[in-house]
Homo-oligomer: A and B are copies of this chain.
Amino acid sequence: MTPDEFRAAGHAMVDRIAAYLDSVGEQRIVPDIAPGDVYAALPSTAPATTTDVDTLMADIDRVIIPNLSHWQHPGWFAYFPANTSYASILAELLSAGLGVQGMSWVTSPAATEVETLMCDWMLDLLGLPRSFRSDTATGGGVIQGSASEATLVAILAARWRATQGAVNDTGDTSRLVAYRTAQAHSSIDKGLRIAGIGEQRIRTVAHDADLAMDPADLARQMTADVDAGLQPFFVCSTHGTTSTLAMDPTAAIADAIDTVDGAGTHRVWLHVDAAMAGIAALDPDQRWVNDGVDRADSYCTNPHKWMGVNFDCTLFWTVDRHAMLGALSILPAYLRSTAADSGAIDYRDWQIPLGRRFRALKLLFVLRLDGVEPIIEMLRHHLRLANDLAARVAAHPRLEIAAPPRLGLVCLSHIDGDAATDALIDAVNASGRHLVTRTEVDGRSLLRVSIGARTTAAEHVDALWDDIHAHS
């Protein structure tokens, strides 16, 4: 492809994306196909001859677009929001065009420093503790690809600190114990498993009626483990669980840890997973989602969920850069200090992979072109829609609110029980106009309505409610 062909094709692609996002609400939100259908509709080996971009795009319009699940659809009430924005798309385009590698400072200085700056900008905008700032030298922020990776980094830093680095030599994790409730995200357990913490040493802490962690049970279980010769090393507090946006009480959890933990060099790592809800703190009225974060060793939230930054962009901060670098740096210690002395950050030592894209551009573009005010307005709009829906559910004779509505999430169930709730979910999704997902809490079936797509308006929630009402 020549530069001129790229210009023409690029302009057409930009127009096409604008048209897609403008009309995505007219698509069937998820395709009605069976596994293998798309694969079978395409040539099984690479074609021997090339084609032009118009032909390729026609194929994509025919085979690929109709067979996506449309996360940008205004009727997207499933899973979690993953809203994008024009500013973010421009930034991803620029990042691809520049084609630089930000694995260390020297491999592209501006890529590293803009990322550090964006972490600091976001820290201020979210009202997070200054102890997370990169210029503290002990703390710092980084963009990870996903909350799963952020969690794994936190676990590895915790593992290093708990063993005072010995794990790097011995691999011995046999005494380490981790704690979370049954409501924690599956990536916590996956990260622990990867790090060599088996299920036998993952404790399920009790939760209260609102699905928040019970700090007293945490203290009891930690004490029992210490008495048994084991070593508590990691606690995950979730600010906004996936199923219901339940909030674990981080300050009380930190108090519980302090009663058991000597707070010495081996101290238990407290990670706050605010992947879904944390961005709500952009709105000063929702700053409660940060409660207790000043007690945490690390924290993550996802601009790629609810801030108009397209995937991938997870913000991760820690107050213990030393432990993180100890866990992830593959250089000897004396080189680490040299790098620290010069003030350069090598983000390869802050993450699992080596290579990294220039993802900070996405935050820069969104914050400078759109600004934070429209995002706050969007959040408030989603909250109003969720409140209205929750009120309708509460007033309905055959439905009930199944968990305290929080932010953009409403969980409901049918009073006739799980079978009725499951049937309702299927019926609501059958139209292809919107999509909700099922979750299960304490063995009970729930219909989740997660409101967070950029273009979701009252009419889309009304249409959903019409379907819910009609099938209840």
Question: What residues make up the interface of A, taking CB atoms closer than 8 Å to B?
Answer: 1-3, 5-7, 9-11, 13-18, 20-22, 30-31, 33-39, 42, 44-47, 49-53, 56, 60, 63-65, 67-72, 79, 82-90, 92-94, 96-101, 105-111, 113-114, 116-117, 120-122, 124-125, 145-149, 152, 156, 167-174, 186-187, 189-190, 193-201, 304, 310-312, 328, 330, 342-345, 352-355, 357, 364-365, 367-372
Contact = CB atoms under 8 A, between A and B. Distances in A.
Contact of A11 (B11, B100, B368): B11
A198 B195 CA distance: 12
B194 A171 contact: no
Contacts of A35: 105, 109, 113, 342-345
A53 to B, nearest CB: 6
Contacts of A3: 18, 21-22, 86
A342 B36 CA distance: 9
Contacts of A67: 109-110, 113
Contact of A93 (B38, B87, B96): B96
Contacts of A44: 117, 120
A355 B312 contact: yes
Main SS of the interface on chain A? Answer: helix
Contacts of A63: 110
Contact of A370 (B45, B50, B186): B50
Contacts of A46: 121-122, 124-125, 367-368, 372
Contact of A173 (B18, B171, B353): B171
Nearest to A57: B94
Contacts of A84: 96-97, 99
Contact of A189 (B50, B87, B330): B330
Contacts of A365: 56
Contact of A14 (B93, B170, B342): B93
A122 to B, nearest CB: 8
A364 B43 CA distance: 11
Contacts of A156: 194
Contact of A71 (B100, B114, B167): B100
